[in-house]
Amino acid sequence: MALPLHATTGEKIWYYAFRTICGLIFFFLIAPIIVVIPLSFNAVPFFTFTEAMLTFDPAGYSLKWYQDFFTDLNWQGAVKNSFIIAVFSTLIATALGTVAALGLSRPEMPARTMIMGILISPMIVPLIIAAAGMFFFYSDIGLASTHIGVILAHAAMGTPFVVITVTATLVGFDHSLTRAAAMLGANPTRTFFKVIVPLILPGVISGALFAFVTSFDEVVVVRFVGSYQQRTIPWAMFSGLREQISPTILAVATLLVILSVLMLTTVELLRRRSDRIRGIDQ
C-alpha cells in the first residue's frame, strides 16, 4: 500500500501517522527482548544501564554473569535437566503424536471430534490446573519428584502440537501415492518410510520443535511435579526472579533469545520446504 502520487495532504498525514503508530507497536514487541542483551553484560549487579555503559566505557561491561552461569552448579544442573527432560519428552510426544495424526487423518476415523478433543486437551487446560492434577496424581503413584514424572507430564503437554502440525501436513496428502507405492510392490512398512515419512517430515519436525519448546519453556508443571533435583532453566529463572535478582538471569535470557532465533529460523525454513514439496505457492 504505497502512497499514490495523487494523495492529498490529509492522506499523506494519515499514511505517515499510521506507519509511526505501527513502528511504535513493533518497538513495544521487540524492545524488551533486545534490551536484555546489553544489560546482561553489565559490570555491576543492576537490572538497568549504568553511566559507564551509556558512555561505552569498557569498564562498564563484563562477561562475569556469563562466567557465573557456566560455572555455577545450580545453573549447570538446570541446563542438564532441561535438555534431558525436553529431549525425552519430545521423543515420546513426537512418536505418539505422529502415529496418532496418521490415524486421525484417515477418512474412516470414527468419533474424530471427540478423540481430537481429548488429544488436544493438554493445550487447552490452564497450566495451573494441569499442574494441580498431575501434582496429586503423580504423588499418589510415586512419580512426583522424579525425572520420569516430569518427562511424562511434559510429553503429554507436547503431543497436541505434534498432532496439530502433522495433521495439517496431511491435509493435502495425496492418498493415491501410498496406493501407487503398494502397487509397485512396497510393503506397508517400506511405504511408510519411503513415501509417507519424507512427505510429512517437515510437519513432524516443526511439531517436535513445538513440543521441545513447550517442555524447555515450561515452569508451572515442573515446579509442582518436580523438585529441586528436576530443576530446569525456567525453574531456576523463576526462583531466581523471586528470590535474589542477579544479572545471571539476564545472561541466561540472552542465551535463550539466541536459541529462539535459531528455532524460528528452522521452523520458517521447514515451512517453506513443506510448502514447496506440497506444491503450495508462496
Partner 1 sequence: MTSATATDANPAGTGEVMTADGVPLRISLARARRRSRNRALLLVAPLFLFVLITFFIPILSMLFRSVENQIVGETLPHTVEALQQWDESGGDLPPEEVYAALVEDLRIANETKTAGKVGRRMNYEKSGFASLFRTTARRIKRIEAPYKETLIKAKKDWGELETWQVLKRESDAYTLSYYLAAVDFSYTPTGEVLKLPDDRSLYVGLFWRTIWMSLLITVLCLILAYPISYLLSTLPVKTSNLLMILVLLPFWTSLLVRTSAWIALLQKEGVINDLLVWVGLIGDEHRLTMIHNATGTIVAMTHVLLPFMVLPLYSVMKTIPPSYMRAARSLGATPFMAFVRVYMPNTVPGIGAGALLVFIISIGYYITPALVGGQSGTLISNFIAYHLSISLNWGLAAALGTILLVLVLALYILYDKIVGIDNMKMG
Q: Which 155-184 residues touch partner 1, going by CB under 8 A?
A: 155-157, 159, 161, 163-165, 167
> Of 131 and 200, which CB lies nearer to partner 1 in the complex structure?
131
DSSP letter at 4? Answer: P
Strands (E), 23-116: none
- Identify residues 71-100 at the interface with partner 1 (CB under 8 A): 92, 96-97, 99-100
Using CB under 8 A, pick the residue from 3, 13, 63, 261 that binds partner 1: 261
Using CB under 8 A, pick the residue from 3, 13, 22, 184 that binds partner 1: 22
3-state secondary structure of 42: strand
Q: How far apart are CA 13 and CA 194, in angstroms?
A: 58
Interaction between residue 126 and partner 1 (CB under 8 A): yes
Residue length, the chain?
A: 282
Smallest gap from Cβ 248 to partner 1, in A, equals 11
Question: How many degrees, rounded to 5, is the angle at CA 55 between CA 53 and CA 59?
Answer: 55
Interaction between residue 130 and partner 1 (CB under 8 A): yes
> Of 58 and 140, which CB lies nearer to partner 1 in the complex structure?
140
- Tell me which stretch binds partner 1 (CB under 8 A): 63-71, 73-81, 149-157, 191-199: 149-157
Smallest gap from Cβ 228 to partner 1, in A, equals 14
3-state secondary structure of 186: coil
Q: How far apart are CA 150 and CA 86, in angstroms?
A: 10
Q: How far apart are CA 209 and CA 203, in angstroms?
A: 10
